[in-house]
A and B are shown apart, each in its own frame.
Chain A
Amino acid sequence: MEIDKIIHEPARLRIMMILNGLEKADFTFLATTLGLTRGNLNRHLEKLESAGYLKVKRSFKGKVRNTSYQLTREGSKALAQYWENLDAIRQSGQT
């Protein structure tokens, strides 16, 4: 049974789960909710973006730069598959 290592990392799993319930969230929301430093969060977001699981949108709110993140279709599917595999492992471990 294969588990996606990109998603399996606790911080990245939480990032994807937060975004799974939303259309999009910005960097500040993810950082304050997860309690990650900006550098750490940036690293995880870059990994997810490179994997094709996240879409990044950069804009301006007035004069302030704003970066928001959204799960891609591939990311949603990968997340669903991740949980399916994990639940299957747990179930087979219980039998």
Chain B
Amino acid sequence: MKGAIIMNKEDHTPRDSDKLKEIPKWSRRYAQNRKLTVLVLTAIITFIGGFVAFPISLGIAAIIRGDMLVTGICAVLFTAVLIVLIIFTFKFGDKNRGLLDQKIDQWIYGKEGTASLPTSRSTKKKWLDVVSGIAISICILGSMYLAMDGYLSFKYLQPVLAVCFVPFLVFQYFLQQPRLGPLLLLCPALYAIHAILIIAGVPIYFTGTFAVPLNMFLPLFGYTFLAYIIAHIYSRHALKKLKVIAHLEGGTANGD
């Protein structure tokens, strides 16, 4: 063993070695819950999603009414959003993939530095990710169509989507292990509770012109936001615990 030293029974062991053994646990919990970057990215994607959903839902409603003027305006709006999306993809996609999260991460967590956990490299998991992505897209578009055509009541839109979203979100959580902490399961849990409450008769849903995008995205965005904020707050606690245990005082820090 390199530079081994012999210790007698009476020699010192590192003080508070039980506390030191907690260091990996707190560093892992910090990295798992350091999610403000993802929250900002989710907000950006949801914002963009809103700009996509808004002209689509307004346009479909206009087509059903036979209002060609509004249909035309929505078509132009949708085209403009698509162009912005294409530019965005060129700037932050392909070889620049990850550049946007890096920039946001640096902006939020720059002073703390970076600590990360491994991503899943399994090819099988990537295929499952693609298949589940296709399934959830079909679910979203199908529900949107059924609701706008009157086959699905606005009241039951969120509960129907919960049947797809909740398993999808739970699946995504396990797919991304060990990167995510269990606090992030709050999002699918709250989404499921929201659905159950609607079915039980609690009127926590929207009606009116924008009922479809609001019922679809507002609970999802709201609960994602809440889960990630709670995770971020927990990451502050984890970092504080880590620093208390790991922090070195002057003389001890110098070592040999």
Show the binding face of A for B, using Cβ within 8 Å: 1-6, 8-14, 17-37, 40, 44, 51, 61-62, 64, 66, 68, 78, 83, 86, 89-90, 92-93
Contacts and interface: CB of A to CB of B under 8 A. Distances in A.
B13 interface: yes
Contacts of B116: 22-25
A64 B102 CA distance: 11
B9 A92 contact: yes
B244 to A, nearest CB: 10
A2 B113 contact: no
A40 B254 contact: yes
B114 A17 contact: no
Nearest to A31: B113
Interface of A is mostly: helix
B106 A23 contact: no
**Is chain B's interface secondary structure helix, strand, loop, or mixed overall?**
mixed
Contacts of A62: 99, 102-103, 106
Contact of B28 (A8, A22, A40, A92): A22
A21 B23 contact: yes
A8 B2 contact: no
A90 B28 CA distance: 27
Contacts of B114: 24-26, 28-29, 66, 68
22 contacts: A3-B5, A4-B3, A9-B256, A11-B253, A20-B27, A21-B23, A21-B26, A21-B27, A24-B115, A25-B113, A28-B111, A28-B113, A28-B114, A33-B246, A40-B253, A40-B255, A61-B102, A62-B103, A78-B1, A83-B17, A92-B9, A93-B10
Contacts of B99: 62
Contacts of B200: none
Contacts of B112: 28-29, 32
Given A26-B113, A61-B106, A86 B1 contact: no
Contacts of B3: 4-6
